[in-house]
Structure formats: C-alpha cells, structure tokens
Structure 1
Amino acid sequence: MADTHDNLHIAMLPWLAFGHMTPYMELAKLMAAKGHRISFLSAPRNIDRLPKPPPELAPLISLVKLPLPPVEHLPEGAEATSDLPYDKIQYLKKAFDMLQEPVARFLESSDPDWIMYDFAPYWAGPIAARLGIGSVLFTIMIGAGLGFVGPTWASKGADYRKTPEDFTRSPKWVPFPTKVAFRLFEIKRIFDVVTGNASGVTDLYRMGACQECCDVIALRSSYEVEPEWLSLLKDIHTKPVFPVGQLAPGDPEARGETDTWRSIKEWLDAQKKGSVVYVAFGSESKPSQTELTEIAQGLELSGLPFFWVLKTRLGSADTESIMLPDGFEERVKGRGVVWDSWVPQLKILAHDSVGGFLTHGGWNSAVEALSFGRALILFTFVADQGLNARILEERQIGYPIPRNESDGSVTRQSVAESLRLVMVEEEGRVYREKSKGMRPIVGDQGIQERYTNDLLNYLKEHRPVKHLKSKGTTI
C-alpha cells in the first residue's frame, strides 16, 4: 500500500449506463486496493444497484448520490440507460447536464486531487480546471473505438464526416489497414450521435470537448490486445494516453451461492463440456420483434443446446414488448432454456459446459467471455458495439452473423449457420482457438496490476501543485 502522503483522492463521474459504471467501479477497486481514496458519483438508484465494493475496500470508496433533476419526457425513476428505450436516452443526457452545479459543489467541498470523467460530462474538465483539480478523461471505449473517433478537430464540429456512409470507412488519420468502421445499419441506428438530440449537444461533440479539456486520457485497453491503436492515439493526442488494462472481473465464485444460480447450474451440469451457446445482449440492447423471431428460429435450427437471457423490455417506458415465436419454448424444451430475469453471467461463462457466447459486442461482456476463453458470435445493436465487433472479427476472436448491410436484418439460416460454424465446425476452429488464446492475456492480474500502477504513478507525480502544498509534500 502507498505511503499515506502519497495517497490520492480521486473523484469518478461515469456516464449513467451500467456498461460504463461497471468498469469505473472495477478501476475504483484496483486503485483503492493501493490505498487511494475514491469518491464514486452517480444517481441514487444506480448506486443502490451497483455491486458493493468488498468489505476491505469499502472504507476507501465513498458512494456519492447525486439526485437527477426532473426533465420533461424522462420517466420518473429512470436513472440509467437500461431503464429506457433508446429514443428516451437523450432526456437522460439532458438531466445529467443539469448536474453541473452539484458536481462543482461536491468537488469544491471535497477537494480531490483528480477527477476521472466519462465522455458525457463535457463540462467537467473546465470545472476541474477552475478549482485546480487535475482531470482524466477515462473512456470505456477500446483503443480502436477511440482511434476511430479520432482527433479533437474531427469530433468537435468538423465537416470531415457528415453522412452515415462517411462512418463506414476507415478514417484518413489511421495509417494501417483495418476493418474498424461502422456497418451502414449500425451507424444509421445511432446517427443522432452526429446530428444531435434533446440535450442540445451531440455525443461526438461531448467526446471532442472532453478530449480537449482533460489533462490525461485513460482508456480500457492494453498493448497485448491492440498495440497499433494505442500508438496511434499517442500520435494524434498531444497529451498523455494511458491504457488501464481490460478490467476483467474478479473470481466468479466470490459472488456466493443463490437459488437462481443453483437452478441454472443444475441444467448446465447436465450438458456436455463446451456444447452450450450462452445468449445475452446486455442490459441496454433489445432485438426488434423481427430480429427476435429470426434469432429464436436460428437457435432452434442450429440443434445446439443454449441458455438465453432474454430482455423483452428496456425499462417501464418501453412500450414495444417483444415475444418469442408460438410454441418455441415447448419445441426446444430440454435443449434450450429462456430466462427472463437477472442471472450471474460470470458464473455461467465460467461453467465448463459453455462453449460460445452469442453477444451484442459490448466490451464488458466480451472481456468476461474471453477471460474464460469462450468463442464469440456477434450480433450488434447500438453505441460502439459495431467498432468492438470489427476488432474482434479482425483478430478472429469473434464471428459476426451475416446481416443486410442497409437495415441490419438477419435470417434464421445465417443465425443457425454462424452458431454451428463457431461452435462445432472445422472451419470455425480458428475462433475457438483464438478465443482460448485470449484467456491468459485478458485474465492476467499481473498485466492488470502493471497498467494500474503506471496510471497511478503518473497521477501521483503530476498531482496539481496546490494539492502538493496542502498535503505538506515537498515539491
């Protein structure tokens, strides 16, 4: 543990999405384990829903609740993106922007050394600078995603990319050949990141402003996985860039036994080793009715055993409920399970009977699966999932289910063929082997420790001068 005078106080302000808060909390635990104090800021219900830090770290991690102001069209109680259908998330951004004053008051009264903030609070950097607090843009995007977003000028109001088609090509600042770009249907679904939303600020502008104002850029990446992208980021940003590692979750067995897990485990125990396809699309992605029907029929056609965690609604404001095809569950009984509530995903992925994971390509899920060497079958929905999928595809770690380029539609045949390819066929052996090869890289605690230390050492050495004076340390 660090000497007391060396210890930092770091405030963390992630975006209101569990796919963002979870890696922030993983990093918070790693830093707290080295004696540093963390103030973790989020909306009250999010704090209540996040897994609590282990008892030995709890005294060093303060969970700070910042109530969201009411905003027209934002349903009451909606405090995370998983509470909302996609078209309502813009109002969550509007509410989040109204936290500027409470965040400024908190920073002023608690006087941390540094604040680590996400892409959304583009206003956090200027507040920190005014208060003499160091600022870190900690983006949960991987190197390829951040590299595709590009330099500040490209995201902050430049005319370089105007149409959806412009985002389907590798940008001009990437000097090496790569598949990393959006497919047309992927960018069309989220084109409001470019054109704007009810908050009045585009996501692209937010990221550009955050990059411009911060002192340090940190991202969820490692040289073992994407060295060329990290080198590019150091070239295009005139400030320190630190990968923080993959932030793989801890031991699944540490989560304890529950009745839910005992029931799931009983079914998994009865399946052959490596035979089961685990299907889950995260907390913020939901297939359309047409997509759901084709995925279900594809799973049925594949003949493979599967365990499917199916989310049919995104929060109480989601009026578009989706339904499985008539008779589907009866026809797959014994071979397939459809589960409609929370599951211990880590425990499932760790189980020997699971061989592959049909996933949306969210990086949290990819890292969890790869930490157990599970092969990935990719079906993207929103956000940066498409860019994640391209790097997984490029590395032959994940196989994308073929879809219509313009609208993203899929056929049951392509679902079934993709599943069989990755799970059992000789042609897909490369995906199974490369995924297994990722296990020692993604799950290596020594590698993770090194990245955490590198960032912390920099933050200690470069803490703002007023903090050095106030803590009585020699400058």
Structure 2
Amino acid sequence: MDADPSSSPLRVVVVPWLAFGHLLPYLELSERLAERGHSVTYVSTPRNLARLPPVRPAAAPRVDLVALPLPRVDGLPDGAESTNDISYGERKFHWKAFDGLAAPFAEFLAAACAHEATRPHWIIADCFHHWTASAALDHKVPLAMLQPTAASIAAAPRPPSVHPDPDASVAEQPAAAARAVPRYEREGHAVFITGHGASSGGMSGIQRFILTKDRCTVAAMRSCIEWEPETFPLAETVLGKPVIPLGLLPPSADGARRAAAQGAEHATVQWLDAQPPDSVIYVALGSEVPLRVEQVHEMAFGLELAGTRFLWALRKPSGAADDDSADMLPPGFEDSTSGRGLVTTGWVPQMSILAHAAVGGFLTHCGRNSLVESLLFGHPLVMLPIYGDQGPNARQMEAKLVGLQVARNEDDGSFDRHGVSSAVRAVMVDEEARRGFVAGAAKMQAVVADTDLHGRYIDEFVEHLRSYAAASANAAN
C-alpha cells in the first residue's frame, strides 16, 4: 500500500481552465506546493504549456508538465488553445475542443491510478471541468474545485440548481457594495444560466459549474477572510461544500522581480522612465472581452478630457480592421495627447509597469489577477468591470475605498467620456479624493503583500488535503 498521505508528500494533479488568468495562478499554486515537497502534475495543452513562464528552480524538480493535445474542431483556428487566441464568436468551438479533452484526461488518470506509486492523492480543477470531476469520481480520487472569489459566490441569492429559474435576480452581497447589482450585470448572469450552450459548446456555464460542484469533495478558494471578510463566510453555505481558503496567490517576490527584470527594456517601461512619479494611470481591460470601437473612442475622449498622463494597453476592439491603433482610436487622438499618453496594442510587461514609480493608478476591469497584481504595489483603482466576477470585485473594492467605478448606464452598461474623465480625475488629480483612495489601497496592499499570511494559508490548505486524503484512504481500506 502507498505511504500514509497524512504524513508523506502528496501527489497532486492540477487542471486549469484554458485562459491565462487561470493558467498563471494555478502555476503559482503548483510552485508553492512543490516548494513544500509535494509532487505536482500540471495538465494543459501543448501550446499553453509552452507559453508559461519557466517553473521556479526550487519547485521545478517536483512539477511535471503534462500536455494533452487539444482536439481539432471545425471553426476553431489552428493553435487556438487559450481564450486569448479566439474571438467571441469562436468561443463555442473552443468549448467543444475543451470538452474533447475528457477522453485523454480519463486515459491519463487511469494510467496514473494503475500504480500506487503514481496514484494522485488529489486533483485541483476549475469549476468548468465537469469531466475532470467525473473521472476523479470514477477512480475515487478526491477533487477540489477551485473558485476565484467569494464575492461572486455570495452574490447568488440561493444555492444554484442544474435547472435554475431564468428570472431569478442576483442579490447584492451584504455590506460589500455601494449600490445594487445593475441590470446589465443581472442580464449577463442570466445568459450564464440560460445560454443553452449557444456559446459554450452545448452546455450552459451554470450546468458545468453544478456538475463539477456536485462531484467535488471540497471547494478551494483563491481568497481569505482578510481579503473579503463580509462575503467569505457566506461561500460555504451557498456552495453547500466545505470551502478551504488558499490566500490570494500573489506573485512570489522572486517571480515579481524576474518579471520586472525581463520587462525592463520594453518600450512602455522606457517611456515610463521619462515620466514623473505617480503621474501615470495605467489602462488595461484584459484580453477576454475587447471593447467595441465606439467604447474605445469614449475611453479615449475620457482620457483626453481628464488631462492626466496615461499608458494604455489596448486590445483590438470588435469592429476594428486590424491591429493598427490608428484604426481603433479617434482621428487625431494620438497627436492631441502626444507627450502625455502612450497607446500600445501589443504585449506589455504588466508587472514591470505596475512596479514602476511613475504609475500612480490603474484603470482596470477588476479581474482577480489584475486586482492582486495592482494592489501588490498599492495602486488606487478606476474600475470598469466587463463580465463574470468583475462586477462583484469592483463593488467590493469601491466599498473599501480602494477606487471608483466609471459611471455606467444601469440598463445596458454603456459609459461615456465624461464618466471616464470624472473617475480618472477623482483617482489621479483631486488631491483630497486621491488621498482617501491611496489610503484604501494601502490597507488592501497590506493583505496582498503579507507573505507570511499567504504562506500560512498554503500550509493550512495542505493540511486539509492531507486530512481528506487520509480519510479517503481509510474508507477505501
């Protein structure tokens, strides 16, 4: 029989969703587990694995990268393995290819479970991986479903079902937002529930979530009570599963330094070198859902009206002909903001930018990675959430006085240049308002940058895994 998992190193299989906002924190988790002596098998597709940063030397001997080829699907471009590689219209093909990983994963797990020396003690997977959870159940391997935040879970009015009420409203999480959930966000949530697979490969997002949840042993959460004290205690009740906090998985100190060093010669960083301290607002709304051309134009006019320095990492908007910024931006915009603004459409070294002394604020969509990375450096926020957990994240940060949301139309989510300008000026120019936001960001920075806190959460997470694994082994005997 295998050694007692309550005392020996664990063998853990990690299976992230095919988006870099998931792939990277899962790698961080894998490295932290490996540095504690545990063996981690990190499973993804070949091109996604090739694009990951190198595993830290201290962890590398115990992290095994396993590639499962993404099945070819008509309509999905060759090499489109991550969500960064596809357009909105190609999502249904990406989901279909993702579901095609079920059989190779089942084969991989069966082979691993054929010998006690390689049988995993745990699988950690995203909430979309119902087929991973099914394979784990078949082989009696416990699975932890990883959730990004308690705010979005606690926003649910009741534990969801496989056949939820399409007219159910989304309840506001207690004491965590300054205003009710707007209609456009409720409607986006309804699409997640009742999409009938139109954009998710034949199965709605909530169905994937429920099937994974029902088959998992516990839920792990990239959060902790110190980060969201109002909502974290509610998550276990809503999910109906034990919830184990992981902490925030901020980039490790050496990883952050390595990323900053690698990006030091990038043109954006060189441009920042010529700007005064705390004078630039960094603008980046992620790569998953680009803005429409008219929204990009309103954003541009808002930055122009605000009169502040800005560095804008702009993704090609829907309706733009190519990656030339001249096609995306209003005519004459770059000339009128020359000297105080820089727009770039390619890859940027975000950690290097956020670490730069010239950056004094961040206009963000409030994805979890961007929030953690920004607050690692204590930047106040201008917030423009787009979808998913970004709305709850933004309301949470606004309630903590970390920043301000751009004013939106409550029905359709539209915004204009005046809303952008007003929010940017409040965070970057208005001295009294800025002092308050900087103070709020500093409080959250203290949580994000507390390495002892997050190390303790990883240690406690491991002890939970040991306990459950040992109980599972005893039950099997």
Q: Same fold (TM over 0.5)?
A: yes
Shift in Å at residue 189 of structure 1?
4.8
SS of corresponding position for 2:328:
coil
Structure 1 residues 371-396: Cα deviation after superposition (integer angstroms, max 9, x where no partner): 10001101122222112111112222
> Post-superposition shift, 1:237?
4.0
Deviations 1:265-318 (A, max 9, x none): 33222222111100111121311111100111111111101111111168x999
Cross-structure match for 1:270 = 274
C-alpha contact (below 8 Å) 1:148/1:181 kept by paired residues? no
Q: CA deviation at 1:192?
A: 3.0
Which position in structure 1 is the counterpart of 2:21?
19
Q: Distance in 1 between matches of 2:99 and 2:156?
A: 22
Partner of 1:192: 191
Distance 1:320 1:106 in 2: 43
Partner of 1:65: 67
Partner of 2:433: 427
1:365–1:259 CA distance, 2 compared to 1 (3 A): closer
Query: Cα deviation per residue 1:405-455 (whole Å; 9 max; x = unaligned)?
Result: 222222112111110101121234322210122112111110101110111
Alignment check: 8 A CA contact 1:180 1:387 kept: no
Aligned counterparts of 2:266 and 2:68: Cα–Cα separation in 1: 36
* 1:359 and 2:375 matched: no
Q: In terms of mean alpha carbon deviation, does 396-405 or 260-269 score higher?
A: 260-269
* Contact 2:219–2:244 (CA under 8 A) maintained in structure 1: yes
1:451 paired to 2:451: no
After superposition, residues 103-142 of structure 1 pair within 5 angstroms as 103-110=105-112, 111-140=119-148, 142=149
Contact 1:12/1:116 (CA < 8 Å) preserved in 2? yes
Superposition pairs of residues 201-220 of structure 1, within 5 angstroms: 201-220=203-222
Whole-angstrom distance in 1 between the partners of 2:388 and 2:128 = 13
Q: Which residues of structure 2 form unaligned runs of 5+?
A: 113-118
Q: Which amino acid aligns with 1:93?
A: W
| Cα separation, 1, equivalents of 2:413 and 2:181 | 12
Does the 8 A contact of 1:85 with 1:317 survive in 2?
Answer: no
Residue equivalent to 1:299: 303
1:177 positional shift: 7.1
SS in 1 for 2:220: strand
Partner of residue 416 from structure 1, selected from 404, 415, 421:
421
Structure 2 residue 258 is matched with structure 1 residue 254: yes
Return the alpha-carbon distance in structure 1 between the equivalents of residues 437 and 280 of structure 2.
16
Q: Which amino acid aligns with 1:81?
A: T
RMSD (CA atoms): 2.7
Candidates 346, 354, 357, aligned match of 1:341: 346
Q: How many Å apart are 1:69 and its aligned residue?
A: 1.2
Equivalent in 318, 323, 328 of residue 323 of structure 1? 328
Residue 395 in structure 1 maps to residue 400 in structure 2: yes
Q: AA paired with 2:207?
A: Y
User: Is 1:288 aligned to 2:299, yes or no?
Assistant: no
How far is 1:319 from its partner? Answer: 11
TM-score, length-scaled by structure 1: 0.90
One-letter amino acid of the counterpart of residue 21, structure 2: G
Give the deviation of 1:466 after TM superposition: 7.1
Does the 8 Å CA contact 1:151/1:208 hold for their aligned counterparts? no
Q: Equivalent residues in 2 for 1:156-167 (5 A)?
A: 156-159=162-165, 161-162=166-167, 166-167=169-170
Does the C-alpha gap of structure 1 residues 187 and 20 become closer, same or farther in structure 2, counting only changes over 3 Å?
Answer: farther
In structure 2, the residue matched to 1:463 is 469
Structure 1, unmatched stretches of 5+, are none
Which amino acid in structure 2 is aligned with residue 185 of structure 1? Y
Asked if 2 retains the 8 angstrom alpha-carbon contact of 1:84 and 1:317, the reply is no
**Percentage of matched positions with identical amino acids:** 37
Q: What is the CA-CA distance between 1:179 and the residue it aligns to?
A: 5.1
**1:76, CA displacement in angstroms?**
2.2
Contact persistence 1:155–1:207 (CA under 8 A): no
1:440 corresponding residue in structure 2: 446
Whether contact under 8 Å (1:186, 1:380) holds in the other structure is: no
CA distance in 1, matches of 2:164, 2:38: 39
Specify the alignment match of 2:225 in structure 1: 223
CA contact (8 A) 1:402 1:414 kept: yes
The one-letter amino acid of 2:268's match is I
What is the CA–CA distance in structure 1 between the aligned matches of 2:380 and 2:422, rounded to whole Å? 15
Asked if the contact 2:14/2:41 (under 8 Å) is kept, the reply is yes
- The verdict on how the C-alpha distance between 1:429 and 1:239 changes in structure 2, with shifts beyond 3 A counting, is same
Structure 1 counterpart of 2:288, one-letter code: E
Query: 1: distance between equivalents of 2:322 and 2:208?
Result: 26
The number of aligned residues is 460
Which amino acid in structure 1 is aligned with residue 334 of structure 2?
E
Q: CA deviation at 1:402?
A: 0.3
User: Cα 1:112–1:303, aligned 2, differ >3 Å: closer, same or farther?
Assistant: same
Q: SS state of the match for residue 123, structure 1?
A: helix
> What is the alpha-carbon distance in structure 2 between the residues aligned to residue 317 and residue 158 of structure 1?
40
* Contact kept in structure 1, 2:316 and 2:322, CA below 8 Å: no
Return the offset for 1:20.
1.2
Asked whether the 8 Å contact 1:371–1:443 carries over to 2, the reply is yes
In the alignment, the residues of structure 2 paired with residue 317 and residue 263 of structure 1 have an alpha-carbon distance, to the nearest angstrom, of 24
Partner AA of 2:34 in structure 1: A
Deviations 1:55-111 (A, max 9, x none): 221121111111111223222221111111223222212211121111111112122
Structure 1 moving runs of 4+ over 4 Å: 2-5, 174-182, 316-322, 464-470
In structure 2, relative to structure 1, the CA distance for the partners of 1:385 and 1:267 (3 Å cut) is: same
